């Protein structure tokens, strides 16, 4: 009798359809942040360089997808870097996941992988979101200007990560993607 109660108590509730997938792919997003060794770690208002990376994970269910996403995020944790201008040293820190979503359709041309609902907004507002081809970031080949370029180019990586997921890899501090 005790065994039956334990098995019943361990049984998890049914996973809602919106949190399952049949394609076997998941979209995971995580934050990695560069932290100088000499920073005041107690000051949560300090400025930092951070990236939110979005990757694809192949997994049979959300529990496995979660574990694999966390493992991917941790790959760059502790990778050292430094500021070439000041000589300050630091390391990349994995802060955690920001999202985990199932891909509902098989991956192929035209498969919907993400969507965003816009309710009760004006047509003007919706149309203002539309970009001409040359406004799309993939067609912008100019170098970024201003402070962001200076901040990101002042830190150089001391080594490459082994992580690569379908061509997506973490950014090195100068804004380029790491290669395996």
Domain ranges of the chain: 17-157
Does the pLDDT value for residue 177 go beyond 90?
no
Average of pLDDT values for 122-127? Answer: 95
CA distance 109 to 116: 19
Q: What pTM was computed for the model?
A: 0.67
pLDDT digits (tens, 9 = 90+) for 16-39: 877 887 789 999 999 999 999 999
Does the pLDDT value for residue 163 go beyond 50?
no
Greater confidence, 27 or 13?
Answer: 27
Does the pLDDT value for residue 167 go beyond 50?
no
Q: Specify the pLDDT at position 162.
A: 29
Q: Specify the pLDDT at position 164.
A: 26
- Asked if 172 and 157 touch (Cβ cutoff 8 Å), the reply is yes
Does the pLDDT value for residue 103 go beyond 50?
yes
Average of pLDDT values for 121-138? Answer: 94
**How would residue 4 be classed by pLDDT, with cut points 50, 70 and 90?**
low
Q: Specify the pLDDT at position 19.
A: 80
- Asked if 88 and 82 touch (Cβ cutoff 8 Å), the reply is yes
């Amino acid at each position: 009798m005790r065994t039956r109660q334990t098995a019943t108590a361990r049984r998890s509730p049914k996973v809602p359809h919106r949190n399952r997938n049949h394609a076997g792919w998941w979209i995971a997003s995580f934050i990695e942040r560069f932290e100088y060794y000499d920073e005041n770690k107690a000051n949560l208002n300090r400025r930092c360089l951070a990236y939110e990376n979005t990757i694809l994970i192949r997994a049979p269910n959300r529990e496995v997808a979660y574990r694999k996403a966390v493992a991917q995020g941790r790959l760059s944790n502790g990778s050292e870097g430094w500021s070439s201008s000041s000589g300050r040293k630091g390391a990349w820190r994995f802060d955690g996941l920001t999202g985990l979503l199932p891909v509902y359709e098989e991956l192929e041309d035209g498969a919907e992988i993400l969507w965003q609902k816009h309710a009760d907004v004006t047509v003007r507002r919706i149309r203002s979101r539309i970009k001409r081809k040359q406004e799309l970031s993939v067609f912008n080949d100019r170098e970024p200007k201003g402070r962001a370029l200076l901040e990101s180019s002042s830190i150089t990586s001391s080594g490459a990560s082994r992580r690569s997921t379908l061509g997506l890899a973490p950014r090195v501090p100068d804004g380029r993607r790491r290669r395996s």
